[in-house]
Amino acid sequence: MSELRLEKLKVAHLDSVDLVVKAAEIVCLSGQSGAGKSLLLRSIADIIPHGGLVYLDDCSSLECTAPQWRKQVGLLPAESQWWLDSVGSHFTEVDEALFERLGLSAGALQWQVSRCSTGEKQRLAILRLLANKPKCLLLDEPTGSLDPENTKRVERLIKQIAVEGNIPVLWVSHSEEQIERIADRHVVVRDGGLFTA
């Protein structure tokens, strides 16, 4: 039973945030820019200093090394980064079926990163993240740069992965329609706290 639990998380102006995302549950986060959505996700992944505790499966982030923790709580930043020339050299494992689910083929691994469009990079970044087999997903506007068709593909894939893998998902989204389609619960980040929408 995988469950993501935040206890009194403190970062910047976010004060004492408590939140539970149950296994297979998709919780959408929205809120004005600067409200602290990304900061919240970054704290959960322990990329930035923060107060409070984060648990996954009743296991606190402090009980394992930071790299182990970050592999388990997969964080997808709003803008993906690529540091090697070819797409493939960023991947350790490749699941071709997943590539096809996002409208790509394994041939994409031969591509040069510099020639990929923003949308291609975004979908590849999702695949790269999933290759780590995370036990929880933190997605910062994962479909922000995608066309409607690919947006639907990502939504279907994540939803299926959440259900089949019993994976809790925190999904930052600005689109009401998208939240309507995917969210089991909708939480708004406002005035330094979380509010149920």
- Residues engaged in binding another protein (CB under 8 A): 45-49, 65-68, 70-71, 74-75, 77, 79-81, 83, 128-129, 132
Write down the least CB distance from residue 124 to another protein, Å.
Answer: 13
Put the strands of the sheet holding 169-172 in their side by side order: 73-76, 136-140, 169-172, 26-30, 185-190, 193-196
- Nearest 5°: CA angle at 117, between 114 and 122? 100
For another protein, the closer CB: 58 or 83: 83
Q: Smallest gap, in angstroms, from Cβ of residue 148 to another protein?
A: 27
Between 84 and 148, CB nearer to another protein: 84
CB 183 within 8 A of CB 27: yes
Contact 34/192 with Cβ under 8 angstroms?
Answer: no
Residue closer to another protein, measured from CB, 32 or 132: 132
Kind of pairing between the strands at 59-60 and 51-56: antiparallel
For another protein, the closer CB: 80 or 145: 80
Q: How far is the CB of 72 from another protein (least distance, A)?
A: 8
- Residue 151 main-chain phi, psi, to 5 deg: -60, -45
C-beta of 161 vs 183, nearer to another protein = 161
| Shortest Å distance, C-beta 120 to another protein | 17
Shortest distance, CB of residue 93 to another protein, whole angstroms?
A: 12
Backbone region of residue 181 per phi and psi (left: phi > 0; alpha: psi in -120 to 50; beta: other values): alpha
Residues in Cβ contact with 148 at an 8 Å cutoff, skipping those fewer than 6 apart? none
